[in-house]
Structure 1
């Protein structure tokens, strides 16, 4: 789900500025390349190319096809894969080209049941979007990773769309405006197709909403897949998500290096839920939301016409305030991480474009900064400490809660505020035994719970 995964997108946005120290880069990139090549060679060895070609040919009534060679070429890696999937071209005798979308396998790969659930959800999402005017690749077939699948891996066979990934920073103002005009039309089209619950489409050919199709919200218990249930209010969903994170902190599954800071942060976010979540209406509707809208999910031609919106893995429904907020790709990265509470120049233009077609959606952008800050703080990677401090200060400033406190002052206040939280006390005792203690005086001059040094 966006909130837990959001820091991955955030780190990507900041990493383009080259924040890895030079000495580390000299070691990191060669090692990364070798590991990636080894990973893909193992993946290629599992794929039965003849079976993949035969299945594609069968789906086109026997038209012969060939599968592009599976080979690792670091110079072409961006054209073949992203962070989660590898793509190979299938060329038919009549020059039609499909793509086979295949999940990568590495140390972060979740169990097979999770992979299957996410793949079927992506297929269901693309089939749902085929009923709209949103430009997305057509799905021709798919298979899960099972014994009766002769290809050997799970895959989706889909249309290869023309165009290249949008490079937002390189676009000039006129090109950006042209893309925003089209993107506004896409969001207005999505608004015409509400869905009844918060979650992910999980059944191809149906508009049924199931649990969120995101590995961070899927769990295996007793050999069975457990999903994060569909929800019927944004407040219910956010509270459940934050409770899950708090549970994982206590179980030492998240934030092992900074458990107290992480617990206090997410306990505070629980208090902000009613502040940031509009009151639910009796007939609340939800809308499909791309989970990784940093810009390269949009394909454009040389004239900046949008030819497609791709990479719908992890897509989910969201309340309007989130579904129609400005895409992450429009955020002014430096200002956003500095905690600036106002929207950026591109967002302001996008809001104006939306207002011409749908004022409600424009308001989601104009009032969206607090929503973005909340989402980025939820599940954030605390190893980027400076980035976190800016975002967290911006969130408190924007919401008008604890806005005048530095991090150190806020932390002391939070320890006092939540001293009645028994799980926090358990965590503090555990940290005292393993790390040391810092004693904080409460407002009456007494001593509060210990904290990490």
Structure 2
């Protein structure tokens, strides 16, 4: 029976310990009975030296989660090691020290061997603000309290960190690699939008990009290609609407472009609570997991991170704290902010980035907000929603989109396959499922009859309340 340490992959533990000893010049051990910790993209084990110092050994879990191929995983982890080394030697940003990183080695897996982050993860604290908690949701472990002052302090520091990153410019958009002569270079872009969720299998232009316009076109191409070729939904009308959304996004590019001619900046592609470490006074001690980092438009860097995992932008006071920390530290980019209206464009890019990455549960809201920020229509609320949906239906009737729909329908599932999916989602063994499938079919009918129909959170809230009321009446 294998030790738990090999839960995610087989590798040569003795070779790893030998490497760590060689790097530090001290004996070390690793508990083979420990099950590796894991996130979405990497698994981690800890190596302990005889003086109590711990190092971290990280390797991709791509084979388990199916995010990308082994080849892409190897590129990403090598690029991350190069990015961390660049940040460590060229900036004061608190990142782990990299002692070794390789994709082709005698340990048997791609890896990064790095220092352990000091402090405590922000994921241990209750970042959610009053009124933003999800009703009925309970965390698996009690979270430590966090005041508004603490949140502002963290956001201000993140602003200062991004400001320092803005001073380091690259001539192209792409990911960092290190050449044999020790110099850093920009190669293909390994951004999550171009590689995650099996997007590395798509035929896309991955750069390196010399122009921001070409980069944005590639992101939109990844978005529409994902809708057509990768798992999304069995309903072709939805796929068509994603393609139409891509058409709108292409038209928005001139209003998304930063128009900054002084190069491109690095930004953390997955900045969440678990990747930020702080001390007891909420000073940031380390920012980890820079995988899939690439250079890009400064508007990506300027977007205030939504650390709580919410699909909605951060609260105004957190945005103010972030921007205050940025401007206090800014040097080169400060004139760009005043002359190019970059803050407004960063708000647009915030929604654009989350939409094209397709990791949100509410893509429509990101599109709607982006549309409003770009075009500033007078209609808001339900009237504005109907107006946007009408634009989609109008475009769907164009000749080129009717041809696209016909092509998509060739790949559509049959009615028998759809019914099989219904049976899988709503097994007949439970009587409550007959109500659920009836609701689903009625909602489908409503969407076909009403062009302004949108199943947003209010509808699902109403359906849930109605079903709960019916269940109570049956019990009575």
TM-score with structure 2 length normalisation?
0.70
- How far apart are the structure 2 equivalents of 1:111 and 1:334? 28
Secondary structure of the 2:95 match is coil
Q: How much does 1:117 deviate?
A: 0.5
Structure 2 gaps of 5+ residues are 129-144, 416-446, 452-476
Secondary structure of the 2:160 match is helix
Judging changes above 3 Å, is the alpha-carbon distance between structure 1 residues 116 and 306 closer, same or farther for their aligned structure 2 residues? same
| 1:135 has 2:94 as partner | yes
- Please show how residues 317-336 of structure 1 align to structure 2 within 5 Å: 317-329=295-307, 333=310, 336=313
Judging changes above 3 Å, is the alpha-carbon distance between structure 1 residues 252 and 320 closer, same or farther for their aligned structure 2 residues? closer
Secondary structure of the 1:378 match is helix
Judging changes above 3 Å, is the alpha-carbon distance between structure 1 residues 419 and 372 closer, same or farther for their aligned structure 2 residues? same
Q: Over aligned residues, Cα RMSD in angstroms?
A: 3.5
Residue aligning to 2:264:
286
Residue aligning to 2:363:
388
| 1:355 has 2:337 as partner | no
- How far apart are the structure 1 equivalents of 2:408 and 2:377? 26
Secondary structure of the 1:243 match is helix
Q: Which moved more, 1:165-174 or 1:188-197?
A: 165-174
Structure 1 gaps of 5+ residues are 1-37, 337-341, 442-453
Residue aligning to 2:162:
187
Q: How much does 1:292 deviate?
A: 0.7
Secondary structure of the 2:273 match is coil
Q: How much does 1:238 deviate?
A: 0.6
- How far apart are the structure 2 equivalents of 1:41 and 1:171? 35
Larger-gyration structure (1/2): 2
Q: Which moved more, 1:270-279 or 1:199-208?
A: 199-208
Does the Cα contact within 8 Å between 2:163 and 2:327 map onto a contact in 1? no
Q: 2:243 aligns with which of 243, 258, 263?
A: 263
Q: How much does 1:162 deviate?
A: 1.0
Does the Cα contact within 8 Å between 1:126 and 1:138 map onto a contact in 2? yes
Does the Cα contact within 8 Å between 2:169 and 2:263 map onto a contact in 1? yes
Judging changes above 3 Å, is the alpha-carbon distance between structure 1 residues 231 and 395 closer, same or farther for their aligned structure 2 residues? same
Does the Cα contact within 8 Å between 1:249 and 1:259 map onto a contact in 2? yes
Q: Which moved more, 1:284-293 or 1:199-208?
A: 199-208
Q: How much does 1:293 deviate?
A: 1.3
Q: Which moved more, 1:80-89 or 1:249-258?
A: 249-258
How many residues of Structure 1 are paired with residues of Structure 2 in the alignment? 380
Q: How much does 1:309 deviate?
A: 1.1
Does the Cα contact within 8 Å between 1:389 and 1:407 map onto a contact in 2? no
| 1:276 has 2:256 as partner | yes
Q: How much does 1:367 deviate?
A: 5.3
Secondary structure of the 1:369 match is helix
Deviation per CA, 1:37-92: give whole Å up to 9, x if none: x9x7764560222221111112223x2100133533xxxx8xx3321111111111
Does the Cα contact within 8 Å between 1:317 and 1:323 map onto a contact in 2? no
| 1:238 has 2:216 as partner | yes
Does the Cα contact within 8 Å between 2:158 and 2:325 map onto a contact in 1? no
Deviation per CA, 1:156-185: give whole Å up to 9, x if none: 110112111123344212222332343233
Residue aligning to 1:427:
404
Q: 2:318 aligns with which of 323, 329, 346?
A: 346
Does the Cα contact within 8 Å between 1:348 and 1:366 map onto a contact in 2? no
Judging changes above 3 Å, is the alpha-carbon distance between structure 1 residues 252 and 335 closer, same or farther for their aligned structure 2 residues? closer
- Please show how residues 29-108 of structure 1 align to structure 2 within 5 Å: 43-44=7-8, 46-61=10-25, 63-72=26-35, 80-104=37-61, 105-108=63-66
Judging changes above 3 Å, is the alpha-carbon distance between structure 1 residues 68 and 364 closer, same or farther for their aligned structure 2 residues? farther
Does the Cα contact within 8 Å between 1:90 and 1:99 map onto a contact in 2? yes
Judging changes above 3 Å, is the alpha-carbon distance between structure 1 residues 352 and 107 closer, same or farther for their aligned structure 2 residues? closer
Secondary structure of the 1:157 match is strand
Deviation per CA, 1:10-59: give whole Å up to 9, x if none: xxxxxxxxxxxxxxxxxxxxxxxxxxxx9x77645602222211111122
Does the Cα contact within 8 Å between 1:295 and 1:328 map onto a contact in 2? no
Q: How much does 1:389 deviate?
A: 3.2
TM-score with structure 1 length normalisation?
0.73
Judging changes above 3 Å, is the alpha-carbon distance between structure 1 residues 361 and 94 closer, same or farther for their aligned structure 2 residues? farther
- How far apart are the structure 2 equivalents of 1:45 and 1:375? 33
Q: How much does 1:439 deviate?
A: 11
Deviation per CA, 1:245-292: give whole Å up to 9, x if none: 3344344565554311211112111111112213353xx311111001
Secondary structure of the 1:208 match is strand
Does the Cα contact within 8 Å between 1:250 and 1:427 map onto a contact in 2? no
Q: How much does 1:296 deviate?
A: 2.6
Judging changes above 3 Å, is the alpha-carbon distance between structure 1 residues 328 and 97 closer, same or farther for their aligned structure 2 residues? same
| 1:206 has 2:183 as partner | yes
